Amino acid sequence: MTAKETKQDQRILTYGQAINEALDQEMARDQSVFVMGEDIAIYGGAYSVTKGLWEKYGDERIRDTGISEGAIVGAGIGAAMTGMRPVVEIMYVDFMTLVMDQLCNQAAKLRYMFGGKIKVPLTIRTEGGAGRTLGAHHSQSLESWFMHIPGIKVVMPATPYDAKGLLLSSIRDDNTVVYIEHKMLYNTKGPVPEGEYTIPIGKAEVKRPGKDVSVFTYSRQLLFCQEAAEELANEGIDVEIVDLRTLLPLDVETIVESVRKTNRAVIVEEDTITGGSGAEIGMRIVEEAFDYLDAPVKRVAGADVPMPKSAALESLAIPSKQSIIKGIREVLQ
């Protein structure tokens, strides 16, 4: 089944269930696929995403590891170089700081440095974002770091349907993919076909067509953007929402096409505004669609602060429906 064959015989799954099903189907299809990480086997993962897989596939293919993120990714790189397709889980994206040498200097570079004679088909599943008041060590959005690493891909699905299709594509890709899930999406629900299907990495999707302003977003912020668009529709403001889905490679063609249509652009991201993903997206718009803009590009982003533990402060540190509406109004003035 392809990504276009989507509307028949669909069931409703949670985001977490969709990821679990993708892992299950790909492990059943390809014996070279295995999963390893902290507490993913008997316990089923910190957010129960791998629940039930250990009972089905056993210790060889669902491997609990020690508490060493560097060792987990290092072992994954070695396995990928020698013919396996490992999926490694780093419990929180905050802990990706401990694997930056393996990721930046090894996984991202080896295929290039060996002239394509080896591949590193490694998928690194991790989760990020705020919303559970877990404090500054467990609530960051670090995706813009990984956008700066040539040789890898960065995937951030927002819906259960996209989560399954993009994970299957990530596992089958011959390059290293950083696949970032949002902790507040695991229990969200949506239609997911039972069969196998893939979604191309590097292809955005217009989730809501509109004519007045383009909103570019990804991951959990898609939900807030949709809420904002519904509210503004009551006032006659027609918002187009583009879910980027992949940050590296970035679908500049779809971004530019949307700006040419609406002549206004708002970028909504949960990561911090300084050096965030929106800076790159906004600059691409300026470089390739400047003549179509009727207003400056607007960013609605996270605050430049360590993520607060307080629920009230945490909600102020990331975009909300109201801050998105405010940003859209500003470019329409």
Hey, where are the domains in the chain?
Answer: 10-193, 205-332
Structure confidence at residue 8 (pLDDT): 44
Going by the DSSP 8-state scheme, the letter that residue 304 receives in this structure is S
Strand partners of residue 240: 214
Alpha carbons 276 and 302: distance in angstroms, whole number: 9
Structure confidence at residue 10 (pLDDT): 77
Structure confidence at residue 136 (pLDDT): 96
Locate all alpha helices (DSSP H) within the chain, ordered by sequence. 15-29, 53-61, 69-81, 100, 110-113, 143-147, 160-172, 221-233, 252-262, 277-289, 311-317, 321-332
Which of 38, 69, 89, 314 is flagged as catalytic?
69
Q: 10 Å Cβ neighbour count for 274?
A: 11
Strand partners of residue 191: 12
Structure confidence at residue 1 (pLDDT): 47
**Fold match between 10-193 and 205-332?**
yes
Taking the chain (333 residues) in runs of 10, the rounded mean pLDDT of each run is 52 98 98 98 96 97 97 98 98 97 97 96 98 96 97 98 98 98 98 97 98 98 98 98 98 98 98 98 98 98 97 97 98 95
Structure confidence at residue 9 (pLDDT): 58
Which of 21, 127, 138, 269 is flagged as catalytic?
138
138 is catalytic: yes
Residue owning tokens 């918002």: 239
Burial code (b: 16+ CB inside 10 Å, e: under 16) for 191-223 equals ebbeebbbbebbbbbebbebebbbbbbbbbbbb
Measure the CA dihedral 251/273/16/149, to 10°. 60
Measure the CA dihedral 34/38/43/48, to 10°. -80
- Given CATH 3.40.50.970, say whether it is the number of domain 10-193: yes
- At the topology level, CATH places domain 205-332 in Rossmann fold (3.40.50)
For the record, the structure tokens of 165 come out as: 């299709």
In this structure, what are the phi and psi dihedrals at residue 272, rounded to the nearest 5 degrees? -65, 150
Pairing of strands 205-208, 265-272: unpaired
Alpha carbons 144 and 247: distance in angstroms, whole number: 8
Structure confidence at residue 125 (pLDDT): 98
Strand partners of residue 88: 36, 124
